[in-house]
Structure 1
């Protein structure tokens, strides 16, 4: 069972320009919503390679998609797509989708710390077998380094105040749970009357991006993916953060192999935003592979 609702499914399918029999890649499987739609669109003669860094997501979603015989699930970082396709003896694909958002299933997992409303371990890793948990990062980084991370990746104006509070708190006891960190941030960042988001939101976002080295993965992927597309193939990216969207915009614009389709990013319709709040910050960009 998945709680995740795919963002802008209609727009995504249209931008991918899917034809029956095509070979597609869903670089961020999540709850499998986009993968299922892509599978149905390519039909029984097509194929969808669906990747995710989160082994739990791959396991859950593989079961959910067991009825789809044209889907190949893979536990891998989308930045490693060239190696994945080589292992599968696939030279070119007709479309690639990246949905860079955090899935609702991850937020609901109390043992991962993604939700600051659940008092689980402060881990924040997509793949628990790689790297260090956020709690360890908080225990060792200087106030200056922490402040830079929270400001750069979370665009949090009170980053230095939060970082100082973290360093002061860890002198007394370690920050080990999502609740510990959320309460600490809320104690030093006042809730804005004009914003609905929790004061801890930006800090959690920043640490998640840092722990998973998300921007580096995206940077690598945007370089490595265009050559994997067949001529006329599409690369579609859904981003939820201004830094990500800027990277996609620049990479599409500067690539000699891509022609930009979306001069401005598409956004979710008002009705979708009302029904799926996660879609409010989504920006969708697409580009097409041109003959080299």
Structure 2
């Protein structure tokens, strides 16, 4: 059901980082962004006594992942939910903790490949971009109804687009003639709005605008801000949270959340850490890990990945910041 280009990013490294948390018989892992199940498949194979809870808001992805993970059906539980709903998902299963949580953020290869979903700027398609087709708001709704200032903010903050205001002005002017319905018209507008010298650098001129619209339609930043603390609270001692982010805003949120729970409030010149002030987490990765060749050549999506991992320490009586 999956196609060859659906290759999980940094697969071996993810398995390696998850290993200490999943080697115990009966360990439970959560793939909070299941997608096509590539990471989960490798983890289920590597840890034959572990169980999986796979979460995705995309019903098509769940169906395809279910087919891929059929050989492990007795150890898998696939859930239609958004990943910030992790506390509810665990409560419904009477679980007070899990051993590992994985996030592989952003749009999936499958969503990009399906033209009718409207995620890709390379094909003319309906301006949809919903990861859950039951959600009411589409990318067309954003383009056709948001005020100028709000469109500018979204393009600037979520797309890191330096010509955000200029693009938003073009959109507002053009939608007065006719509402936006397809990606092809938006791409043509972006070629007109972005100056020619800027179009020659930094990748496709539509990349940042499409990213910003996708994030807004799916509320990805707010969901992530809720999901990371929820994952940190969900793991037990020795548990790990691993996150793969593909754009700087997401990575910054993860970095800050990890730093907050792994930093001591004790002055650095104090010779010892008083009881009750121990940190409850340690960052496992040194900074954000990146993919290298030959993976980037064989899997271009890996070029922008930033991977971070954190571990809850064994209970030592410290205060819980999660």
CA RMSD of aligned residues (A): 1.3
Partner of 2:237: 231
Question: Deviating runs (4+, > 6 A) in structure 1?
Answer: none
SS of equivalent to 1:111: helix
Partner of 2:228: 222
Answer yes or no: is the 8 Å Cα contact 1:131–1:211 preserved in 2: no
Answer yes or no: is the 8 Å Cα contact 2:191–2:199 preserved in 1: no
Range 18-27 or range 111-120, more displaced: 18-27
- 1:279 equivalent to 2:281? Answer no
Answer yes or no: is the 8 Å Cα contact 1:227–1:257 preserved in 2: no
SS of equivalent to 2:199: coil
Shift of 1:234: 0.4
Range 85-94 or range 30-39, more displaced: 85-94
Partner of 1:180: 185
SS of equivalent to 2:90: helix
Partner of 2:29: 24
Gaps of 5+ in 1: none
Answer yes or no: is the 8 Å Cα contact 2:37–2:65 preserved in 1: yes
For residue 55 of structure 1, the aligned residue among 35, 44, 59 is 59
- 1:12 equivalent to 2:19? Answer no
Q: Which has the larger radius of gyration?
A: 2
Shift of 1:258: 2.2
Shift of 1:108: 0.9
- 1:162 equivalent to 2:185? Answer no
1:209, 1:37 → 2: CA distance? 28
- Normalising by structure 2, we get a TM-score of 0.87
Partner of 2:154: 149
- 1:81 equivalent to 2:86? Answer yes
SS of equivalent to 1:74: strand
Gaps of 5+ in 2: 262-278
For residue 265 of structure 1, the aligned residue among 265, 269, 288 is 288
Q: Deviations over 1:220-245 (max 9, x none)?
A: 01111112101010000000010111
Answer yes or no: is the 8 Å Cα contact 1:19–1:41 preserved in 2: no
The change in CA–CA distance for 1:91 and 1:9 in structure 2 (over 3 A counts) is same
